[in-house]
Amino acid sequence: MSATARKSAPMPDDIRAMKGDTPIVSLTAYTTPMAQMMDAHCDFVLVGDSVGMVLHGLPSTLGVTMEMMVLHGQAVARGLSTAMMVIDMPFGSYEEGPAHAFRNAARLMSETGAGAVKLEGGVAMADTIAFLVARGIPVMAHIGLTPQSINTLGGYKVQGRGAAGTALIADAQAVADAGAFSVVLEKVPEALADEITGAIDIPTIGIGASSGCDGQILVVDDMLGLFTAFKAKFVKRYAALGADGEAAIAAYAEDVRARRFPGPEHVFGDTAPVARP
């Protein structure tokens, strides 16, 4: 079913059932107004830990806290009614072990109303994913370029090229076997993304991967041209809101300095207007 025709948010199983059927549409969101804009168009909305870089000016996602995720998750939830909300588990909130991951995942879900959590990792996280799923927490996995591991990956490089592709296929299979309902493939070669998509029975959600993935996700500020610090090759800008916004702010500044703003229509008279019959 298309997102526009739906009356209530899909469950993780509905997203899973879209594999091989309709392409799954998703974006990140961090605020209520953005969530409202995408609610009718997306199957799920991710409260990504990219919030740290995009909204808080952090140099990476490593400084994002549980408190930040809860606050932004609550804001996004207020803007959604027909798209499912998935929320990222921030760095340090799940890697230590399954029980620790459960406590934080349960907090994210109970305090924000998210329908699922997302965590980064493949084979290494399979036990944790199985533990969470067995206890009622739907999990979206995230493999390939996993930004929380940039220090061990050596930066934001394409993952899985050449022989490394075999390990990535094993990661995808491990998270699918562990019970994840879908998996994000970030920054992997197109052919490998297609191979993984064909090899596993859960949807692949591509970002810098392949149009053959079962769905796509982008950081909303990137695709709206709001986050203009740099543009990754895999981002398509559908608007230039950053440049438009700066031009609008410059025009406002000029108006204020020239006393053109506020105009007569923006100020209040001494008496209330007389109501006419």
Residue 219 lies near ligand KIV (rule: CB under 6 A): yes
Q: How far apart are CA 136 and CA 11, in angstroms?
A: 13
Within 8 A by CB and 6+ apart from 88, the residues are 46, 47, 48, 49, 64, 69, 117, 118, 119
Residue 114 lies near ligand KIV (rule: CB under 6 A): no
Instruction: Check: CB of residue 26 under 8 Å from CB of residue 203.
Output: no
DSSP code, position 275: P
Within 8 A by CB and 6+ apart from 199, the residues are 169, 172, 173
Q: How far apart are CA 255 and CA 123, in angstroms?
A: 58
Q: Which two tokens stand for residue 69?
A: 């995720």
Which residue in 39, 43, 49, 221 binds ligand KIV (CB under 6 A)? 49
What beta strand segments (E) does 113-214 contain?
Answer: 116-120, 139-144, 182-186, 204-207
Q: Is 186 an annotated catalytic residue? A: yes
Residue 112 lies near ligand KIV (rule: CB under 6 A): no
Contact region with ligand KIV (CB under 6 A), list: 48-56, 97-105, 190-198, 256-264: 48-56
* Chain position whose Cβ is nearest to ligand KIV: 48
Residue with tokens 């506020």: 262
Residue 53 lies near ligand KIV (rule: CB under 6 A): no
Residue 200 lies near ligand KIV (rule: CB under 6 A): no
Residue 48 lies near ligand KIV (rule: CB under 6 A): yes
Residue 88 lies near ligand KIV (rule: CB under 6 A): yes
Please count the CA atoms within 13 angstroms of the CA of 172 that sit on its side-chain side: 30
When the beta carbons of 8 and 152 are compared against ligand KIV, the nearer one is: 152
When the beta carbons of 43 and 259 are compared against ligand KIV, the nearer one is: 43
Which of 95, 96, 120, 186 is catalytic? The answer is 186
Using DSSP's 3-state secondary structure scheme, residue 122 falls into coil
Which residue in 140, 174, 184, 202 binds ligand KIV (CB under 6 A)? 184
Contact region with ligand KIV (CB under 6 A), list: 44-52, 65-73, 244-252, 253-261: 44-52
By annotation, the residues acting in catalysis are 186
Q: For binding to ligand KIV (CB under 6 A), which residues are involved?
A: 28, 46, 48-50, 88, 142, 184, 207, 217, 219
